Amino acid sequence: MRGRMRQVEPMGLISPKVIGRLSLYRRVLHELVAGGQSHVFSHELARLAGVTAAQVRRDVMAVGYSGSPVRGYEIASLIESIAAMLDAGQGDSVALVGLGNLGRAVLDYLGGRRSKMRLAAAFDVDPAKVNRVVHSVRCYPMEELASVVESQAIASAVVTVPASAAQEVSDRLVSAGVRGILNFAPARLRVPEGVFVEDVDMAMALEKVAYFSRQVTSPERAMRT
């Protein structure tokens, strides 16, 4: 049973790596659309995304989209298929905890993107920040975390508090119903089974860069995962 062309399975669980690459492909595809291109071959997309053509083919297969051996992938449809996989039905609401320098930068960066995701609320312990509105996101006191998260059905959160506070914040988010955390604090969060944590550890990343910049032969560039 090989070489059958049509494949219909919508696929079940997809690995974090593949999800990351799909996000990358979508960004590249949007650029191609902006350039007036309507179709793309796996090797073109692969080159632009910095991956192999075989990976592109396998990943595209995973979203349940099929291309044509002659014209390749139709960009508009492929974007739709990826969006169906990555975006929630009515848009996700995201909370941000910790409005320090990093928190504001993240808010700035993520707030300014065309995206189905919506930064719905921010939280901070500092009374001076509470009730202020930054980039049209209101800052609530930490005491209201549970009620706001629950009432707005927030399922994802970004944590930009100091390492010493990260675990407690994580616990509160999880018990309020959050199921995914983007963690910028240099601390390993302990979360219950079923809660997804993605760590962004800038200090570690910089140490990696410093280490390999000293080596005569670097390993191939690592894919962000």
What residues line the site for DNA (CB under 7 A)? 1-7, 15, 17-18, 41-43, 51-55, 57-58, 60-61, 65-70, 72-73, 223
- Residue 207 in contact with a copy of itself, rule: CB under 8 A: yes
Q: Per-residue string for binding with a copy of itself, 132-161, x by CB under 8 A?
A: -----------------------xx-x---
Sorted by sequence, the CB contacts under 8 Å of residue 201 that are 6+ apart come out as 186
Q: Nearer Cβ to a copy of itself, position 76 or 206? A: 206
The answer to whether 38 and 76 have CB atoms below 8 angstroms apart is: yes
Q: How far is the CB of 103 from a copy of itself (least distance, A)?
A: 8
Tokens of 183: 């963690």
Does residue number 218 form part of the binding site for a copy of itself (CB under 8 A)?
yes
Q: Which stretch binds a copy of itself (CB under 8 A): 55-63, 71-79, 88-96, 139-147?
A: 88-96
Residue 125 binding partner per list DNA, a copy of itself, none, with a CB distance cut-off of 5 to 8 Å that depends on partner kind: none
**Can residue 195 be called a binding residue for a copy of itself (CB under 8 A)?**
yes
Geometric angle at alpha carbon 198, from 44 and 221, rounded to 5°: 40
- Residue 52 interacts with a copy of itself (CB under 8 A): yes or no: no
Of a copy of itself, DNA, none, which one sits near residue 11, judging by CB under 5 to 8 A according to partner kind? none
Buried b (16+ CB within 10 A) or exposed e, 42-52: bebbbebbebe
For a copy of itself, the binding residues in 17-36 under the rule CB under 8 A are 19-20, 23-24, 27
- The Cα 57–Cα 42 span in angstroms is 6
Per-residue burial over 72-111, b = 16 or more CB atoms within 10 Å of its CB, e = otherwise: bbbbeebbebbeebeeeeeebbbbbbbbeebbbebbeebb
Per CB under 8 A, which region of 33-41, 56-64, 120-128, 209-217 contacts a copy of itself?
A: 209-217
Answer yes or no: are the C-beta atoms of 65 and 10 closer than 8 Å: no
